């Protein structure tokens, strides 16, 4: 006895007022969420139509209607930065982050750090970096875990809590250099380098030593056979 396969029936896609007829592959191609909500419309306008001002308006609508507020606030701030409205983005995050989940706060802090750098708000950078280091010290960073999954340029990779500590210390040291606070920068660079050796950090540490008149020590770091880590 031979079994006959069922006749082929093409899969129909749904047409709505916002999207023309498109299948799931369209959303995957453009990295779009599925649906017709304000947030989805905002992402479509941002990524497909390339209309940042209209996207910002739609992101505001998503926030005000409670539609994926975590993502809407973060994405809106990023678009604002791209359009030269970084100061406005800072105020938006500060004013509306209380509407976002606890899990989204770390991502919002990272966006804030980028915005502070863009606006040369060094004091705010230092305050936020110190706060993030405090969370690590108290075991509250990464949701209490030792590792987290990070993303960069479409790739996923693991970051340990110690790698994050070293990164934050290095950023804090550089912020102190921008304020010409070379003594504090030296302390933070030494702490960062004790965790993770880094040539750029080593050079910046030597710069701090030169700025405080310790030329011989700076030369020994730059030209010595090996670098001796010491946490002050």
pLDDT tens track for 68-113: 999 999 999 999 999 999 999 999 999 999 999 999 999 999 999 9
Is the CB of residue 195 less than 8 Å from the CB of residue 172?
no
- pTM: predicted TM-score of the whole model, two decimal places: 0.78
Residues of the chain with pLDDT under 70: 1-31, 152-154, 224-232
pLDDT tens track for 179-193: 999 999 999 999 999
- The per-residue pLDDT for 49 is 92
Is the CB of residue 42 less than 8 Å from the CB of residue 75?
yes
Task: Work out the mean pLDDT of the chain and round it to a whole number.
Answer: 85
Say how far apart CA 189 and CA 205 lie, in whole Å. 6
Say how far apart CA 68 and CA 62 lie, in whole Å. 7
Say how far apart CA 70 and CA 28 lie, in whole Å. 21
Say how far apart CA 55 and CA 80 lie, in whole Å. 10
DSSP, collapsed to helix, strand or coil, labels residue 225 as coil
CA distances 73 to 31, 44, 62, 173, 196, Å, are 18, 16, 9, 29, 33
91 Cβ contact partners less than 8 Å away, ≥ 6 residues apart? none
CA distances 220 to 81, 188, 223, Å, are 42, 19, 5
Q: Could you state, in order of their start, the residue ranges of all structural domains in the chain?
A: 22-101
Longest dimension (CA), the chain: 94
Say how far apart CA 62 and CA 192 lie, in whole Å. 40
CA distances 42 to 2, 63, 64, 153, 216, Å, are 53, 11, 13, 22, 57
Say how far apart CA 95 and CA 51 lie, in whole Å. 25
DSSP, collapsed to helix, strand or coil, labels residue 160 as strand
């Amino acid at each position: 006895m031979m079994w006959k396969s069922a006749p082929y029936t093409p899969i129909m896609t749904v047409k709505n007022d916002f999207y023309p007829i498109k299948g799931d592959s369209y959303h995957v191609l453009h990295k779009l969420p599925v649906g017709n909500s304000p947030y989805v419309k905002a992402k479509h306008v941002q990524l497909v139509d390339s209309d940042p001002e209209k996207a910002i308006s739609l992101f505001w609508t998503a926030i005000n209607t409670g539609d994926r507020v975590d993502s809407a606030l973060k994405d809106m701030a990023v678009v604002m930065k791209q359009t030269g409205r970084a100061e406005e983005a800072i105020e938006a995050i500060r004013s509306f982050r209380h509407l976002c989940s606890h899990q989204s706060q770390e991502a919002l802090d990272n966006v804030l750090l980028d915005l502070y750098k863009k606006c040369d708000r060094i004091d705010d950078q230092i305050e936020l970096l110190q706060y993030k280091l405090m969370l690590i010290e108290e075991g509250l960073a990464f949701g209490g875990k030792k590792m987290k999954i990070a993303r960069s340029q479409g790739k996923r990779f693991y970051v340990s809590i110690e790698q994050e500590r070293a990164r934050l210390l290095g950023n804090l040291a550089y912020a102190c250099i921008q304020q010409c606070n070379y003594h504090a920068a030296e302390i933070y660079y030494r702490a960062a380098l004790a965790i993770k050796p880094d040539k750029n950090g080593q050079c910046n540490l030597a710069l701090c030593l030169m700025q405080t008149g310790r030329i011989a020590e700076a030369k020994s770091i730059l030209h010595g056979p090996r670098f001796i880590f010491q946490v002050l």
